[in-house]
Amino acid sequence: QAADLSSAFNVPPEYVRRTPPYAKLIGNLQTVNQITNNTPLTLAEKILYSHLCNPEESLAKFNGSLSNIRGQEYLKLNPDRVAMQDASAQTALLQFMTCGMASTAVPGSIHCDHLIVGKEGADSDLTSSIATNKEVFDFLQSCGEKYGIQFWGPGSGIIHQIVLENFSVPGLMMLGTDSHTPNAGGLGAIAIGVGGADAVDGLTGTPWELKAPKILGVKLTGKLSGWSSPKDVITYLAGILTVRGGTGYIVEYFGEGVSSLSCTGMATICNMGAEIGATTSTFPYQDAHRRYLIQTNRAPIAEAATIANDQFDFLKADKGAEYDKVIEINLNDLEPHVNGPFTPDLSTPISKFGETAKNEGWPENVSAGLIGSCTNSSYQDMSRAVSIIRQAEKAGLKPKIPFYVTPGSEQIRATIERDGLIKTFENNGAIVLANACGPCIGQWDRSDVPKTSTDFNAIFTSFNRNFRARNDGNRNTMNFLTSPDMVTAMIYSGDMNYNPITDSIKLPNGESFKFEPPQGEELPDDGFIQGRAEFYPEADPKPKPDVKINVSPDSDRLQILEPFAPWSGEELSTNILLKVEGKCTTDHISAAGAWLKYKGHLENISYNTLIGAVNKETGEVNTAYDFDGKSYGIPELMTKWKTEGRPWNVVAEHNYGEGSAREHAALSPRFLGGSIILVKSFARIHETNLKKQGMLPLTFANEEDYDKLASGDLLTTVDLRDMVAKDGNNGGTLRMKVTPKDGSAEFEILCKHTMSKDQIDFFKAGSAINYIGNVKRE
């Protein structure tokens, strides 16, 4: 049967590394079906379980029901590929280097996108960003050459767009060091955002561990039309589920409405699954996937996927598969939504937006519009935006506010240039930025509104994330997330009360003008073109062991990592350095923007630790108090306590670490002497990242205990040694003795943990990397 399977998939050699090993995966799934007595599986489970290292071990507790696995058991998985963006790749590769391997175990790619500033336009921004970041790009390039990892240099595009165009394939399982890695789910992959240490698991071929997710089914009925777009599916869903609603779930879309979506539209929806905290999102195999694979020069892969789907039923859910929850969305009724400010789940339909803005006291005018990013820079997005601009141009309308366009890749940029879209953008006042993240990640050197402005200003973007200070470094910029269509229409009005579906705009000649709904093309009629050859790496680079990787000891950008100390074997005794109030995202814990340049230098970047956090006891930002009552910046007090040999912990509220896979949110606290983070609840990726760095993430068994704790209190674990001796037991409780700083009586609280055996090994070794390095060297 194995031979039958392999002969069914005859992929030409040059496509093999980019095609999931379908024969092996389907064979593995047959073993899974035997273990589960052919219990119907969701698509997400089929892809995940077909990547299990050892199905018998991971599914040992099946016992007749998938509910004994979902949300309960840890899966050990073999991902097919790893993708890394320039900011997080530095840490991933610095860690990979310590393992002593000559090449990576699976194909990998590095993408230079986060470190490019958006200011004046693509050419000058790229030149200056390359000059500023040369040392880092050279480091990444030399790592790529040495270990045989594809290096996509600055200007080539945004990681998720390049992955979609080149590497994502139905049934693939990949890891990416960026929280919007799930974008690849738009092409039927299971793609999960992780930190650098998890990426090292993938790169070294170490089984990667994931708590089996629950499955949230989203049934789409009807058909999108008019002004409604795929972005509205996810902005609407975010409003229902909130930023925590997807935690612990994979979101799987199904229903007849799926077939009306483009592949890139599905990618937009999966991309922003990160905003509801989902592990990832995915779609069943569609003809739109086949069309996209063919248009992106992967016809043989499309053929293999079609066989995997049609002959082996691999790329769709089994009939009768059960979801843990189902939400239904009728696309016929879906209205465009606008989400924000400051949180992606505050969702307002466009018909209510003006009124809501007035009631909430949001600014009356919009100050800038931005489209593109990894979320919305497809050919379809760009052609719909241009259809709006051309209507305005014809009517004699000029934009009222600055408008920026960020193409997702060189392929998109070159294709829209060939088709005259860039010309239309530029003739109508748009600034086309480099193929990079730019303003989406704080790399927006904005001149019209100063960073320090204390007045609120509103921007409309087609991006995915809108935490404070994310785009222009200004905490008072309110970023409203919506479709590129809504952003583009808005630049002609600038009035927060404007609804392009119903409202007209006054023309210079006094007449009124109303837009028709946008029209776009799913894919370019004349196919994609690649553009400038210098942006494309060698297709299948071989490792070159002689390449030297230079890290200067004087560098302020790169620093060789020193291993963290292993666990002492004793109970942990740590003081509360800070009690955090409310939302504490990875942007609060490890700010981006100007700090991004220190990603490869742990000591330097750690001076940003928790500078965005609010002190529960005083309401101040970036302020903590020492025992003598003296106030410090948070990282300064951490450094002081580290120097004094005083281990510390941080106490916080819900969904701590929400937002991104940003690994420094775990590395920096560990580097500065933190050992425990005790919260009401964690965002999944951040909790895992803490464990990988040898920290102990705990949650309150009783949330009210948060109120009983104060900064300076001493927390001492009572039964940590017992928990370690039991290898974590895949989660349980941990007792904690509290010695209040104010001298009042000691008391005990109960905490919960989710540590597995492997994670206990990381904890004991001091970090996952220490542990993997020990194993690889043995």
Residues serving a catalytic function are: 113-114, 178, 465, 660, 662
Kindly state whether residue 437 participates in binding ligand F3S, applying the rule CB under 6 A: yes
The contact mask relative to ligand F3S for 136-165 (x = CB under 6 A, - = no) is ----------------------xxx-----
Least Cβ distance, residue 180 to ligand F3S (angstroms): 5
**Exposed (0-12), middle (13-18) or buried (19+): which is 260, by Cβ within 10 Å?**
middle
Number of residues that bind ligand F3S (CB under 6 A): 14
Q: How far apart are the first and last CA of the chain?
A: 37
- Pairing type for strands 714-717 and 477-481 reads unpaired
The contact mask relative to ligand F3S for 344-373 (x = CB under 6 A, - = no) is -----------------------------x
Kindly state whether residue 461 participates in binding ligand F3S, applying the rule CB under 6 A: no
The answer for residues whose C-beta is within 8 angstroms of residue 241's C-beta and 6 or more apart is: 276, 327, 345
Chain centroid to CA 21: how far? 25
Which own/partner contact pairs does 422-427 have at CB distance under 8 Å and 24+ positions apart?
424/386, 424/389, 424/390, 424/393, 425/385, 425/386, 425/389, 427/393
From residue 280, alpha-carbon distances to 131, 183, 272 in Å are 36, 9, 9
Which own/partner contact pairs does 25-28 have at CB distance under 8 Å and 24+ positions apart?
25/50, 25/51, 25/171, 25/314, 26/50, 26/308, 26/312, 26/314, 27/1, 27/2, 28/52, 28/55
Least Cβ distance, residue 155 to ligand F3S (angstroms): 14
From the list 227-235, 436-444, 453-461, 710-718, the region that binds ligand F3S by CB under 6 A is 436-444
Least Cβ distance, residue 178 to ligand F3S (angstroms): 5
From residue 129, alpha-carbon distances to 4, 114, 472 in Å are 52, 10, 16
Q: Which is nearer to ligand F3S, 70 or 470 (CB)?
A: 470
Q: Which is nearer to ligand F3S, 444 or 771 (CB)?
A: 444
Alpha-carbon torsion angle 184, 185, 191, 192, nearest 10:
110
Least Cβ distance, residue 61 to ligand F3S (angstroms): 37
Q: Which is nearer to ligand F3S, 45 or 125 (CB)?
A: 125
Picking from 479, 526, 495, 536, the residue whose alpha carbon sits closest to that of residue 156 is: 536
d(CA 307, CA 220): 25
Q: Which is nearer to ligand F3S, 119 or 160 (CB)?
A: 160
| DSSP track, 608-675 | GBTTTPEETTT--BS-EE-TTS-EE-HHHHHHHHHHTT--EEEEE-TTBTBS---THHHHHHHHTTEE
Q: Which is nearer to ligand F3S, 159 or 382 (CB)?
A: 159
Give the H or E element holding residue 479.
Answer: strand 477-481
Q: Provide the β-strand partners of residue 165.
A: none
State residue 337 phi and psi, 5-degree precision: -120, 155
E-strand ranges in 345-453 read: 347-349, 366-372, 403-406, 431-432
**Exposed (0-12), middle (13-18) or buried (19+): which is 417, by Cβ within 10 Å?**
middle
From the list 437-445, 450-458, 618-626, 730-738, the region that binds ligand F3S by CB under 6 A is 437-445
Q: Which of 145, 178, 303, 653 binds ligand F3S (CB under 6 A)?
A: 178
Q: Which of 173, 194, 269, 441 binds ligand F3S (CB under 6 A)?
A: 441
Query: Which residue has 């670490």 as its token pair?
Result: 657
Q: Which is nearer to ligand F3S, 98 or 177 (CB)?
A: 177
Q: Which is nearer to ligand F3S, 42 or 377 (CB)?
A: 377
What's 708's DSSP letter?
H
Picking from 702, 737, 734, the residue whose alpha carbon sits closest to that of residue 716 is: 737
Picking from 281, 287, 282, 283, the residue whose alpha carbon sits closest to that of residue 310 is: 287
Q: Which is nearer to ligand F3S, 188 or 372 (CB)?
A: 372
Angle in degrees, CA 349, 368, 87, rounded to 5: 95
Kindly state whether residue 267 participates in binding ligand F3S, applying the rule CB under 6 A: no
Q: Which is nearer to ligand F3S, 143 or 437 (CB)?
A: 437
Q: Which of 180, 289, 662, 670 binds ligand F3S (CB under 6 A)?
A: 180
Picking from 439, 518, 584, the residue whose alpha carbon sits closest to that of residue 232 is: 518
Q: Which of 163, 397, 440, 624 binds ligand F3S (CB under 6 A)?
A: 440
Q: Which of 110, 374, 580, 634 binds ligand F3S (CB under 6 A)?
A: 374
State residue 192 phi and psi, 5-degree precision: -125, 135
Identify residue 760 by its one-letter amino acid code.
I
Q: Which is nearer to ligand F3S, 293 or 440 (CB)?
A: 440
Q: Which is nearer to ligand F3S, 464 or 606 (CB)?
A: 464
Asked whether 86 and 137 are in contact (CB, 8 A), the reply is yes
From the list 42-50, 392-400, 434-442, 593-601, the region that binds ligand F3S by CB under 6 A is 434-442
* Interactions with ligand F3S, residue window 190-249 (CB under 6 A): none
Kindly state whether residue 377 participates in binding ligand F3S, applying the rule CB under 6 A: no
Kindly state whether residue 87 participates in binding ligand F3S, applying the rule CB under 6 A: no
d(CA 554, CA 151): 25
d(CA 608, CA 664): 10
CB atoms < 10 A from the CB of 128, how many?
Answer: 15
The answer for residues whose C-beta is within 8 angstroms of residue 644's C-beta and 6 or more apart is: none
Q: Which of 264, 464, 585, 609 binds ligand F3S (CB under 6 A)?
A: 464
* Interactions with ligand F3S, residue window 715-744 (CB under 6 A): none
Q: Which is nearer to ligand F3S, 661 or 772 (CB)?
A: 661
3-state secondary structure 543-573: CCCCCCCCCCCCCCCECCCCCCCCCCCCCCE
Q: Which is nearer to ligand F3S, 118 or 300 (CB)?
A: 118
Contact residues for ligand F3S, defined by CB under 6 A: 113-114, 158-160, 178, 180, 373-374, 437, 440-441, 464-465
